[in-house]
Chains A and B, each alone.
Chain A
Amino acid sequence: MEFLYSLFSFFYQFGDAFAFLVLSACGLAVIFGMMGVINLAHGEFILCGAYVSTSATHMGVPLPIAIALGSLAAGIAGMIVEVVVIRPLYKRPLDTIVATWGISMIVTQGTLIVLGTTMAGSGTPFGSFSVGDYSYSIYRIVLMVMALVTLAALWLMFTKTRFGILARATIQVPHVAEALGVNTNLIYSLTFGLGAALAGLAGGLYAPTMTLVPTMGAAFMVEAFVTVVVGGADIFLGTAPAAVVLGFIKASLTSWQGQLAGQIGMLIAVIIVIRILPRGISGKILKERA
């Protein structure tokens, strides 16, 4: 019995690390992995989702709708950013670093000036449950489920819907897509907005469990970038397996030697993976398939 408790505990921790990696990385996987824009403002889309959803909760909106509102707000913000700043920079990926970094600083400092140093949290819902000696938060199970739901929804969207097919066509061969009558500008905007909305979703989902401060996006950045870099360009063949591998390493090392070991282990794993698989896990899989 003791063994089963420990096993459950391990799976819970692994699921928790996996959910955090998937949810923080999904939006970046679309914007950086697919579209090739090195988006250093990723954390600020997360911030946007978190602040909007928490404000909505304070106004009495139920949490699921509040999270959807946060995601929507981040998506709209993303589309505006795409039209105003990113559009001229698609052929200059290095310049997107500077532009998005600038946006990140403006948003962080602007939030600090306009909304102050902190926003009161909404509190984690649902309470806790116990297995053996340990007690667990129910909401974190919800986060794990949401990570899987998000992956499934993205898979359906990119393989089964017209938008998904147009988006993939536009990003792979923009000129041919354009010649076939696709409004590629619109597709770029919508895809970028989708990435931002996914970031906003992560923000909305994690907002009840975290400190709400203007710099909160930074807490997601390292995990998001390493997951996308390890995963490579494809969300399903890349981001998901990368999150499984990194989540496993992080959870086992953290339970064995603490947070510091977890962080170090995860980053060493990243170095090893990009050394042997320069195009990430999905690059390896796709190459073998071809």
Chain B
Amino acid sequence: MNRKLISTASVLATLLSFAGPMAAQAADPIKIGVLEDQSGDFALATIGKVHGIQLATKEINDAGGIAGRPIELVIYDTQSDNTRYQEFMRRVLQRDKVDVVFAGFSSASREAYRPIVNQFDGLAFYNNQYEGGVCDANMIVTGAVPEQQFSTLIPYMMEKYGKNVYTIAADYNFGQISAEWVRNIVKDNGGTMVGEEFIPLGVSQFSQTIQNIQGAKPDFVVTLLVGTAQSSYYEQAGSANLDLPMASSVNVGQGYEHKRFTPPSLKDMYATVNYVEEIDTPESKAFVEKFHAMFPDEPYINQEAENSYAAVYLYKEMVEKAGGSTALADVRATLADGNLCYDAPEGKMCIDPKSQHTSHTIYLAHVLADHSIEFPKTWDDIKPYWLGDVGCDLTKSDPSDQYTPSHLPAN
């Protein structure tokens, strides 16, 4: 009996091993690795990104998949911890053999995993706004960058409120480089930096910082605060009656502080976002409805959730244009003519072949006293031009470097 069973099993196994490759050809899924922080300090802003990816995946799979192949998601929780990114990046590329990875919230985490993507010559989408400058053929960035967020925001604020600017920023690569951008733009527009303070991640008490700001008498404050601990700033500044207009590239559009704090602590916060759920267009409303149908308890749909959602569609477009191939060279070749676009909930997004960053519609979100949002200004189709201007051209060479205004390509 036993022997019979074994022999039957071995016959079956042999048959299956022949049938395997043939069956696989038709329905072999396209694997997307998803490394996002679903716990820890950043979870609040990033769980929506995973949901955005899941929503797009469901829609695409229901409509027949990418080039006839279904999408399979391989999701790991990176716990707001840079070493987890490195571990899981190795795991998805080596063991799970995914075709593409969607990864990263903080810039520190992106810089932690990027060398590993380079090492295995993989493809990673970074679906997050950031300080800009990554010139790396293995990376595609769908988030907004400083030339899209600050070149619009800072001149607007200086014109409206005055030329004395105070920056408080999270003390790591994102905050430092973003603050450098703000400094340069303020100087170019004839303004003065009356103060600048970098706050270590995890700091939650801002009493003294608030007083330093009051002492410097700025016309407005640029807040580049990251993580849930630092967002306590708004409540404390509000209760000390600081009452200064604020400008930000990360707040509201990422951490939905206007929903979490009691009005009017975020009154007169201005943020340049490429998406927030309050945007009042038919496309945006339809997106919010679909999102809530699948995730009824979603507290807020931020710009990174929309970037992540759009990224799945952009990748679909790339693979289908490449004739179903997921090889890095083939999918990158589809970017060459600059016409790799997707009509996202925010408006049209196109990937720039030189920098592999994405063009955006930028909305100026203004938080009112009751914490509702108005959009006094919209900029259509802002290109991620800075990297191309300073000499990054990924169609010619791949330096795999990150440039900043004070670290430019050597040519």
Contact = CB atoms under 8 A, between A and B. Distances in A.
Interface string A127-140: 11010011111011
A174 B297 CA distance: 51
Interface size class of A (residues with CB under 8 A): 35 or more
B232 A13 contact: no
A131 to B, nearest CB: 11
A118 B212 contact: no
A121 B211 contact: no
9 contacts: A118-B260, A124-B238, A127-B239, A209-B239, A211-B204, A213-B44, A213-B228, A254-B208, A258-B199
A278 interface: no
Interface stretch (A59-67, A109-117, A195-203): A109-117
Interface stretch (B15-23, B35-43, B182-190, B273-281): B35-43
Contacts of A216: 204, 228-229
Given A135-B240, A218-B202, A112 B211 contact: no
**7 closest Cβ pairs, A-B complex:** A123-B262, A124-B239, A128-B241, A219-B204, A137-B239, A117-B44, A254-B208
B299 A262 contact: no
B207 A116 contact: no
A120 B203 contact: no
B225 to A, nearest CB: 10
B235 A255 contact: no
A117 B297 CA distance: 11
B41 A215 contact: yes
| Interface hub of B205, B231, B238, B260 (most chain A Cβ within 10 A) | B205
B39 A9 contact: no
A262 B39 CA distance: 28
Interface of B: 39-41, 43-44, 47, 171, 197-200, 202-205, 207-209, 211-212, 214-215, 217, 228-229, 231-232, 235-236, 238-242, 259-262, 265, 297, 299
Given A118-B299, A263-B200, A123 B228 contact: no
A263 B203 contact: yes
B262 A215 contact: no
Contacts of B208: 13, 16-17, 251, 254-255, 259, 262
Contacts of A133: 214-215, 217
Contacts of B259: 120
Contacts of A215: 40-41, 43, 228-229
Contact of B241 (A122, A127, A260, A262): A127
Interface string A248-278: 0001001100111011000000000000000
A214 B228 CA distance: 10
B85 to A, nearest CB: 18
Contacts of B242: 135
A20 interface: yes
A210 interface: yes
A260 B199 contact: yes
Given A134-B215, A210-B204, A259 B238 contact: no
A214 B211 CA distance: 29
Given A124-B235, A254-B208, A258-B198, A211 B229 contact: yes
Contacts of B214: 133-135
